[in-house]
Chains A and B, each alone.
Chain A
Amino acid sequence: AQTVTQSQPEMSVQEAETVTLSCTYDTSESDYYLFWYKQPPSRQMILVIRQEAYKQQNATENRFSVNFQKAAKSFSLKISDSQLGDAAMYFCAYRSNSNYQLIWGAGTKLIIKP
C-alpha cells in the first residue's frame, strides 16, 4: 500500500526568506501524481502545486516550486519570499494513476515570523 510521510510537524521561517517542506512517499507504481495542498486557519483546502510522475521537470507556480526526486521518492515544496499569508498547514498527497483516491500525509504547520 502507498504511504506518504511528512516528517516535519512544524516549521518556521522569517518573512521574505525561503523554506522547504519535506515529503516522502512509498509506492511500487511508476505512474502517479503528487500534490501539495495548503489549509489556512479558515480551513479551506487549497491546491498549491501538482506534479505528474512521468514529467522530469519540476513544477513551479509563482513563489512555489517542488523538488521531485522520483528514484528517492521525495517531493519537497520550496516557498520563496515567504509572506504572512503563507502561514498554514501544508499537506502532501499521492494519487495513483488508476485510482482517484488521495493518500495524505499528516501535514506540516508553517509559521511565518514577521
Chain B
Amino acid sequence: DGGITQSPKYLFRKEGQNVTLSCEQNLNHDAMYWYRQDPGQGLRLIYYSQIVNDFQKGDIAEGYSVSREKKESFPLTVTSAQKNPTAFYLCASSTSGPQHFGDGTRLSIL
C-alpha cells in the first residue's frame, strides 16, 4: 500500500547529540514537509521541499537540518543547537492535493 513511513516511533536524545528522524514515502509526491507539534498545540512547519535537492526553511527551522537527495526520502536532523527538542514530529507529503501524513515520531531528551 502507498503511504508515508516515519521511523523510529520513539526516539531519545542525549545532551549534545544530533539525532535523525526518517521519513519515506512511496506516493510519488513531489513535495514533503516536516512539522513539530508540542502538547495541546497545533502544527508548526520546520522545513519543506518541493523538489529533489531543494528545500526551504519553515517557521521554526533553527536547530534543525534536512536533506532531499531522493524524491522518496526527506530525513530531519535535530541538532544539538535545538535546546528544546522534546515534541512530536510529523512528516507529510503532497502533490496538488491534500497533504498525507506519517504516524509521527516522539522525541524526548534523556
CA distance A102 to B41 in the complex (A): 16
List residues of B whose CB falls within 8 A of some A CB: 31, 33, 37, 41-43, 45, 48, 50, 88, 90, 92, 94-101, 103-104
Q: From A4, which residue of chain B is reached at the shortest CB distance?
A: B42
| B42 in contact with A107 (CB, 8 Å) | yes
Q: From A33, which residue of chain B is reached at the shortest CB distance?
A: B98
> Closest Cβ of chain A: how far from B94's Cβ, in Å?
5
| A43 in contact with B48 (CB, 8 Å) | no
| B94 in contact with A100 (CB, 8 Å) | yes
| B103 in contact with A104 (CB, 8 Å) | no
What 1/0 flags go to A20-56 for Cβ under 8 Å of B? 0000000000000101000000111111001000000
> Closest Cβ of chain A: how far from B70's Cβ, in Å?
19
| Total A residues in contact with B, Cβ cutoff 8 Å | 17
Main secondary structure of the interface of B (DSSP, over half): strand
CA distance A107 to B37 in the complex (A): 12
What 1/0 flags go to A56-79 for Cβ under 8 Å of B? 000000000000000000000000
Q: Ordered nearest first, which 5 A-B pairs have the shortest CB separation?
A: A45-B101, A100-B31, A106-B42, A107-B42, A47-B98
List residues of A whose CB falls within 8 A of some B CB: 33, 35, 42-47, 50, 91, 100-102, 104-107
| B42 in contact with A43 (CB, 8 Å) | no
Residues of chain B within 8 A of A101, CB atoms compared: 33, 45, 48
CA distance A39 to B5 in the complex (A): 17
Residues of chain A within 8 A of B42, CB atoms compared: 91, 104-107
> Closest Cβ of chain A: how far from B73's Cβ, in Å?
18
CA distance A44 to B99 in the complex (A): 13
Residues of chain A within 8 A of B43, CB atoms compared: 45, 91, 104
